[in-house]
Structure 1
Amino acid sequence: MTSGETQPYYNIRFMAAPKFSSVRAMIFDLDGTLIDSQRDLILSVNAMLREMGREELHEDTISGYIGHGAPQLVRRALGGNAGDQECERALQFFLSHYNEHKLDNTRAYPGVPEALEHLSAYPMAVLTNKPVRVSVRILEGLGLAKYFRAVYGGNSFETKKPDPLGANTILREFAASPNEAILIG
C-alpha cells in the first residue's frame, strides 16, 4: 500500500463553507421532501374506494396521483365516470379517514430533523398542497413544527402550487426577495 492510498480524499467543491448569509426565507414542500406520507395516503384512498363500492387500486397507480391536493387525488382515483356528487362524498370520506390515520405510517425522512435543527437560525416555512390544519398536526406529531415560522396549506390561498401566489405571499411576509429565498422540494 502506498502512502497515497491511506490519505483521505477531499472533494474541493465542498471545501468552502456555504454562503447562506443572504438567505431570508427557506420554503419547504412537505410530502416527499420533509415527510414520507405516501403509505397513509394510499391506504386512505383505498379505504375510500371500498366505501364507494369500487375496487382498490394498485399502490403504484395511487402514487402517481399524489401531489396535487386531495380533490384531484380522489377524482383521479374514482376515474372519469364519477359525477360531482360522488366525488364530493368520496372526498369527505377520504379526508375523514386520512385525518384519523395521517400518522399511522407517516415519518420524517432520515436526516430531516437533524437538518432542520442545523438550519434553525434561518426563517423557514412549509408550503404544501395538503390542507394547513392536517399539515400542522403532522408536523407537530413528528416533532417538526417548532422549526417553522409558518405553515401554508393548499387551502391557504385561492390557488395551489405550482402557482407562485403562495411562495410570493411567504416572501412578502418574510420581507424577502426571490434572490434571498431558497425553495426546497
Structure 2
Amino acid sequence: MTEKPEKISTIDHLPIRAVMFDLDGTLLDTAPDFVVVVNRLLAEYDRPPLADSTIRRSVSNGARALVELAFGVEPGHPDFEILRTRLLALYGDHLAVHTALFPGLQTLLHALGERQIPWGVATNKPAAYTLPLMEQMDLQPAPQSIICPDHVTERKPHPESLFLAAKHLGCEPEHILYVGDHRRDIECGRQAGAITIAAAYGYIEDGDDVDAWGADYRVDHGQEILPILDTLLR
C-alpha cells in the first residue's frame, strides 16, 4: 500500500484550477534515451560507457551537465561546445525511443481530463527538443500549455514560466499545482505563488535533500500526486 504523501507546508492554498509539470524527471522518464546517446558519444571517442544510474542523476541539469559528467570538461574548454553540439544532435535523433511517462502519471492525466482540469509543462528544455518530443509522445488529454526557455526572458527558477502558463490556462498562478524534481522547480513555483510538489521519484542528485527545497508536498511515486490533487479540490 502506498504511504500517504508527506505534506511539508502547513499553508492553506486557493483551489486548484490547473496542473503544471516539469518535463524531464517529473512527467517523462527521458533518462533511458539520454543513457543511449551519452554512451554513444563516449564510444565515438573510444571512452568506456557510464552506468545508467550515473547518467540518470544528471539528466535534469541538461546537456551541459551531461558533457561535464561524461568528459570532465567545463564550458570554456575548447572541446566543450563540440561535444555538447554532438550530444544534442544524437539526442535529436533519439528523442522518444525509450522515453515514457513515469508510473502513475497516465492515471493522473486521465483524472485531470475527467475533472476538466487543464495541464501543461514548464521546462528548461529548449523548444527544439521539447515540442517534437511531446508531439511524438501524443499524451492524452493533450497539454494546454508548453513553456520552454524560448518562450520567456528568464528561465527557471525565475517564475516567468508559470506566469505565462497561467495566462495560457486562464487562471492565476496561485491556482496552479506545480510538480518538479529539482530545487529550481520548487523555487519557481514558490516565487509564482503556486502550490508545489517535490517529485522525489525523479532525477535527484547525490546529496540533494528534497525536503530542504521548501515544497508544499513531497511524493516518492507518481501515483501519490492524485490524492493531493483531490484534497486540494475539496
- Superposition TM-score tier, normalisation by shorter sequence: 0.7 to 0.9
Partners of 2:29 and 2:96 lie apart in 1 by 10
Pair 1:96–1:35, CA change in 2 (3 A) = same
Aligned residues: 167
| Structure 1 segment 20-99 matched on structure 2, within 5 A | 22-80=15-73, 83-99=76-92
Alpha-carbon shift at residue 153 of structure 1 (Å): 2.3
Pair 1:145–1:76, CA change in 2 (3 A) = farther
Q: Conserved in 1, the CA contact under 8 Å of 2:18 and 2:119?
A: yes
Between 92-101 and 110-119, report the one with greater CA deviation: 110-119
Partners of 1:123 and 1:131 lie apart in 2 by 22
Flag the structure with larger Rg. Answer: 1
Alpha-carbon shift at residue 155 of structure 1 (Å): 3.9
1:145-183 CA distances to partner (integer Å, 9 max, x unpaired)? 652112122443344333323223323444433321110
Partners of 1:145 and 1:128 lie apart in 2 by 19
Alpha-carbon shift at residue 44 of structure 1 (Å): 0.9
| Structure 1 segment 4-23 matched on structure 2, within 5 A | 22-23=15-16
Q: Conserved in 2, the CA contact under 8 Å of 1:65 and 1:77?
A: no
Partners of 1:154 and 1:145 lie apart in 2 by 24
Which residue, 94, 98, 102 being the options, matches 2:95? Answer: 102
Q: Conserved in 2, the CA contact under 8 Å of 1:52 and 1:90?
A: no
Q: Conserved in 1, the CA contact under 8 Å of 2:67 and 2:73?
A: no
Alpha-carbon shift at residue 94 of structure 1 (Å): 0.8
The residue matched to 2:103 in structure 1 has which SS?
A: coil
Pair 1:59–1:87, CA change in 2 (3 A) = same
Which amino acid counterpart does residue 171 of structure 1 have in structure 2? A
Which amino acid counterpart does residue 41 of structure 2 have in structure 1? M
1:21-69 CA distances to partner (integer Å, 9 max, x unpaired)? 9323311111222221111111111122223444432222222222122
- What is residue 141 of structure 1 aligned with on the other side? 136
- What is residue 160 of structure 1 aligned with on the other side? 155
Alpha-carbon shift at residue 76 of structure 1 (Å): 3.2
Structure 1 unaligned blocks of 5 or more: 1-10, 12-19
When the two chains are superposed, the root-mean-square deviation of aligned CA atoms in Å is 2.7
Structure 2 unaligned blocks of 5 or more: 5-12, 181-234
Which residue, 115, 118, 133 being the options, matches 2:111? Answer: 118
Partners of 2:140 and 2:93 lie apart in 1 by 19
Alpha-carbon shift at residue 72 of structure 1 (Å): 2.7
TM-score normalised over the length of structure 2: 0.61
Which amino acid counterpart does residue 126 of structure 1 have in structure 2? V
Partners of 1:132 and 1:81 lie apart in 2 by 24
Which amino acid counterpart does residue 148 of structure 1 have in structure 2? P
Pair 1:148–1:64, CA change in 2 (3 A) = same
Q: Conserved in 1, the CA contact under 8 Å of 2:96 and 2:136?
A: yes
